[in-house]
Amino acid sequence: MNKIIRNSFLLLLAGGIFMSCVPKRKLLSSQQWVQKLQSDSAACHNTLDDCNATVKNLQGQKSSLEDANAAAANDLANLSSKSKMTIAEQAKRLQSLQDLIQAQKDVMTKLKKSITDALINFKADELSVYIKDGKVYVSLSEKLLFKSGSAVVDPKGKEALASLAKVLNSTKDISVMIEGHTDTIPIKNATFEDNWSLSVSRATSIVRILSNDYGFDAHRIVASGRSEFYPVKANSTPEGRAVNRRTEIILSPDLNELFRLLDQ
């Protein structure tokens, strides 16, 4: 028994001596190392969780993109099928537009000839008839229609308007714009304030004659004044100013059918 107690005492003494021989610094470093390993392990677990979440998110995006791609492919197939189905219809519509445009050109060409024939007795410096931008223009000079500074139509001007009205009354599906034009010389009388007033009054006088005296449909005619701002010649010469003092009767085709086809 004494031997056992003695041996135990020796072991405890040796252990104490060993523990006292291990530096406290090294023992503390080992503890810190264990704590660092535990911290790194936790960080790795967090990173792994983040990676798993990212993978799941990317898988969801991939699925959405695949669905969108399938839908786009389906829409493209439907559009292609629809386009193939309407090629014949588009060709027919284009042909209808071309036929309508050509028909309107033919109408305006015929109208120009009819007006030219009706006004054959008037001189070239009194009036002219031409086609511009698909419209028929009848340009009447001041000396044919009015005295200087006046909006009262002369008898010879009324003769021209009577001949023109016969053609207009026999022609359907056209609208008429009457435009008064002046030169740049300011008007000097008590009747008109300026060239604007004169140009509008001259246009209005012709509208009244065509509608009231010669029976043209008032719903199809408009009066406007352009004053000096749309010259056809330079106003620097007497000859140029004389040409600019004019009244234009502009005949336009009915475009309702054309607009209807374009809207389809």
| Residue 120, token pair as written in the block | 């054959």
If you count them, how many residues does the chain have?
264
- C-alpha 161: how far from chain center: 40
Q: What share of the chain is helix, strand, coil (3-state, %, to 5)?
A: 65, 15, 20
Count of alpha carbons within 13 angstroms of residue 15, beta-carbon side? 6
Per-residue pLDDT for 188 more than 90?
A: no
CA-based R_g, the chain, Å: 49
Q: Determine if the pTM surpasses 0.85.
A: no
Spatial contact of 205 and 157, defined as CB atoms under 8 Å apart: no
Count of alpha carbons within 13 angstroms of residue 133, beta-carbon side? 4
The arrangement of strands across the sheet holding 127-132 comes to 127-132, 135-141, 246-253, 174-181, 221-227
Which pLDDT does position 180 carry in this prediction? 98
Can you tell me the distance from the alpha carbon of 158 to that of 150, in angstroms, rounded to the nearest whole number? 15
Which pLDDT does position 7 carry in this prediction? 47
* Cβ atoms within 10 Å, residue 224: 15
Which pLDDT does position 90 carry in this prediction? 76
Per-residue pLDDT for 203 more than 50?
A: yes
Per-residue pLDDT for 162 more than 60?
A: yes
